[in-house]
Structure 1
């Protein structure tokens, strides 16, 4: 029996070299016959979950030693950005001068002493996988293979090093292990035969327990290589979808050289869900026929008021679970606005029209002076207001770097494009979608925003008060437009976060998935913060369950 030493591709075919055991050797030999079908799993991270690099020109302008624009796994880079001014943040995280830091052998890192391979060493730790040597999956090649690749090298080629690895490695590894060696790993023991209600499944649509026979039939004769695809979260999700669609088509073509590969399955987190929906939109990614199904995790389906709050007040202080990466983006409203105020991707996380009216409140004592939007248009009533203390944009925060053609008008133009994007994907969901999100009452999630006006204010023209000083963290002072004395100064402060959710995405937004009536299954869960959702046991179990239910629907061409 021939024992394989190496494989390579010549003329589009697989060629194996090896040696034969002596004829006198009567010991039975085992031969692994690999499946001929491949159904890739593609993971799309959330905002700030993709590593970015900057152009050489921008690196030179900033006098940086390398071209890293965003790499949250690198603590030294994160610490440096934490100390950066708002102007430097704007220059470093500029959608016009950044791109995804994809692993490219021989590619430039902006530092001659650091290779692309070293840059993309995955979090400087091992990928904890061991799925067997007779697969093309993430395992070390035999030492006898002259072109030996380690599992870390293979993971890097799969895009695992272009996303926030510390946050997402668990879901990547779990899918790789569980789908490709289902009989060897114990993850399924806590899933098979279990009522999905245990993981928060909504009674409508009703989900049935997954049986062992169903699992075996679904995964038989197929490989499920797990890939990660980052995207430039500073740019529009529409643009990201077009780019990711191109990468997926190229991936299918590559696998099709040696296997039957007809479709992919998408797994998303947070903003990645918006990219996933744009991915299948006929006027954006136009990839619906190549996508078998989508699993959405913690998606802000119709936006989140937290985006408004953070542009005005920075990321939360002292809140359990708020990631270091988020804090690096800005402790103050001026720091966050300098970045997201110039980024279509960030603006597309604001509540859309579908979020409804009244989520922004102006209060004095227990009296609500006004709720906005009042007429179903948050863009005109909140985001594009000029000179109003309760509006989204503070003009002096928008362009601290003094770049040409940036400022209030530029951001308003981006908001109009965000509005068009929101309306385009509002009802766009894959026909085979599953979703999980937090419905936890104990995790206040900025379902609405309130500004509390000083109870000492006795006037009626509160809308036209002018900000005199602003902490950038939810406290500022206002005075009458004609006021000149201290008696004309009043305090305004941000009210507390309220509403169930995951501390970022409120249930009011996530629930749009269930209310759409388009999902094959929805899991309303508790127990996790937004960024850490894919480290929660129930989120992981519901994801594996959903993947198998999607895989069950795969119909292969007869020749496959």
Structure 2
């Protein structure tokens, strides 16, 4: 009984592993005869599956019986630690040498780890049975979140967004009660329900409904949401899932894993689940595009929302193989790889990472060398084919990587042939997905001067330091552009040196105990310049905005350019969240109707 005898009794509801509602009620004395209400959510199920970006999935080692290491251990764990910072990555990867990285981060030696952190509170359709103590409640919630795949993806980057999405899509199932939409009294009408005096409130048909969260700028770019679309979306509950993948392996393999997850969920939810919606971040968009090409998959996907996807690759992937990441972001660089040696040791053996390089569809000429007067010192590269003209180039210092970095100290060396095979896989993957988008695709990308990106990569010649006399005869810019790898000094940082050597500087006043300092002397210093274009800090505008220009058969329904966020945290931005919700509404309105609706 309740404190208010006239209040209706409502049975608490949770959801089981199949996503079906479960009501619980304790038997009451026989003299209490008022009815117990079981409030039912919609029968239709349209799961939303989130696909993370590169480095956004937790990885663990594969058991290795050959080395008596049969127990898997975390290799890449993305849990939030002290004050929301990922202390695990910091403790395990900062300043790790190239050889150790090569051994541990090998695509054949790792797999997805589903034991990452998950939220400790209920949200939307993730509920624990009422009446449990805190320990058992947390255990029940953990089980549900792990079933949803949330333990596979980065807590620090994604969980706040996933919680928002789960609550937004599943807290209320009556469209006129959704707070994200500006629903006014004139948008509603009352309908009588027979038999009896009961009335229900409904949205009027064919009525444009505003979304204030989009803001004036985005709202002006987008067709309005129509009340009929809200009503169609209201036929579904939308449990939010995640699907991690081995981001070191080819995105082709990740696409197959995603397809298997889609099939598993449709089987799990049964006949009332006809399709799923995919929401992707960064490289996850490439995975989803390839997945939609697999036999039968396009029909099982109602639509796709792509966020900050490098649709045609990103030149920053080339740059990090050459000079590392320390000058972009010293803290992140210490984890991912401060110099080109650490990055190359992993990237060269990782097809997935190499698939982020600029594709054949990226505008040619994105790599250039200029002299100390700012004049072009060589034809801009590539002319046509980045794979042969840059990535597999062994006879020029500006080729993608130095061959000796494939065999770092204490590592497991790979051959040039293995690297070349991985580049060929990248080329085949790029060609396979070129211009291919699901027929119901929505895209957002970043354009923010505060988060500049590399539209191109520029090497600039600057006169070097010759401490022991005048510069003498410098090689001209044409000669510099044609130097081979062994003709420059390169430790994986900017600048690269032409001529000279590392030279000690005599201590001041002849102090024999003073620490020895050195300077790099050279004819020329080749500096890899910083960002030159707009974007989100990682993906340039030209690549982020490519889908609508390159999609075959008009598959991209809406694409927006938005400011105010960087690449990793793009889904934490309120505008991108609202655009994601807008896109999901539009996709759901065109999805296959659940069988229960008819």
**Shorter-normalised TM-score: what interval?**
0.7 to 0.9
Which residue number corresponds to residue 138 of structure 1? 126
SS at match of 1:369: coil
What residue in structure 2 maps to residue 178 of structure 1? 168
2:303 is aligned to 293
The reply to whether residue 69 of structure 1 matches residue 75 of structure 2 is: yes
> Which residues of structure 2 form unaligned runs of 5+?
1-8, 80-85, 184-207, 464-470, 501-519
| Residue correspondence of structure 1 range 344-423 to structure 2 within 5 A | 344-365=351-372, 366-400=374-408, 406-423=414-431
Are 1:253 and 2:260 an aligned pair? no
| TM-score (norm: length of structure 1) | 0.84
**How far 1:461 moved relative to its partner?**
1.9
| Alpha-carbon displacement from aligned partner over 1:249-290 (angstroms, at most 9, x marks no partner) | 01110111xx5111000000000000010011136xx51110
How do 1:426-505 residues align onto structure 2 when only pairs under 5 Å count? Answer: 426-455=434-463, 457-459=474-476, 460-462=478-480, 463-465=482-484, 466-479=486-499, 489-505=523-539
Cα offset, 1:121, TM superposition: 3.7
Distance of 1:445 and 1:372 partners within structure 2: 19
1:227 to 223, 241, 255: 241
* Bigger mean CA deviation after superposition, 307-316 or 497-506: 307-316
Query: Partners in 1 of 2:216 and 2:404 — Cα distance?
Result: 47
Cα 1:417/1:202, change in 2 over 3 Å: farther
Are the aligned partners of 2:15 and 2:127 in contact in 1 as well (CA < 8 Å)? no
Matches within 5 A, 1:53-64: 53-57=60-64
Q: CA 1:217–1:377 in 2, change beyond 3 Å: closer, same or farther? A: same
Mark the CA change 1:255 to 1:93 in structure 2 (over 3 Å): closer, same or farther: same
Q: How far apart in 1 are the matches of 2:123 and 2:411? A: 50
CA displacement at 1:369 relative to structure 2: 1.3
Equivalent position of 2:120 in the other structure: 126
Instruction: Judge conservation of contact 2:126–2:141 (CA < 8 Å) in 1.
Output: yes
Determine if contact 1:37/1:260 at 8 Å carries over to the other structure. yes
* 1:34 Cα offset (Å): 3.4
Q: Extract unaligned runs of 5+ from structure 1.
A: 104-119, 132-136, 481-485
Pairing partner for 2:146 from 150, 156, 165: 156
Residue 223 of structure 2 corresponds to 208
Residue pair 2:11, 2:25 contacting (<8 A) in 1 also: yes
Output the CA distance in 2 between the equivalents of 1:96 and 1:394.
Answer: 23
Selected match of 2:549 from 515, 535, 550: 515
RMSD between aligned alpha carbons? 3.3
Paired residue secondary structure (1:385): coil
Cα 1:71/1:249, change in 2 over 3 Å: same
**1:4, distance to aligned residue in structure 2 (A):** 7.1
What is the Cα deviation at residue 537 of structure 1? 1.0
Match of 1:193 in 2: 210
Per-residue deviation, residues 471-505 of structure 1 (Å, max 9, x unmatched): 4222121239xxxxx99742211112111101100
Rate the CA distance shift 1:82–1:179 in 2: closer, same or farther, 3 A: same
| Displacement of 1:53 | 0.5
Deviates more, 1:326-335 or 1:304-313: 326-335
Task: Identify the match of residue 254 of structure 2 among 215, 237, 240.
Answer: 240
Larger Rg: 2
Taking structure 1 as reference, are residues 3 and 21 closer, same or farther at Cα in structure 2, changes over 3 Å only?
farther
Say whether residues 1:556 and 2:593 are aligned partners: yes
Residues 4 and 19 in structure 1, CA contact (< 8 A), matched pair in contact too: no
Whether contact under 8 Å (1:266, 1:276) holds in the other structure is yes
Q: Secondary structure at the match of 1:53?
A: strand
Alignment size in residue pairs? 519
Q: Structure 2 vs 1, CA of residues 273 and 326 (structure 1 numbering), >3 Å: closer, same or farther?
A: farther
Question: How far apart are the structure 1 equivalents of 2:55 and 2:334?
Answer: 11
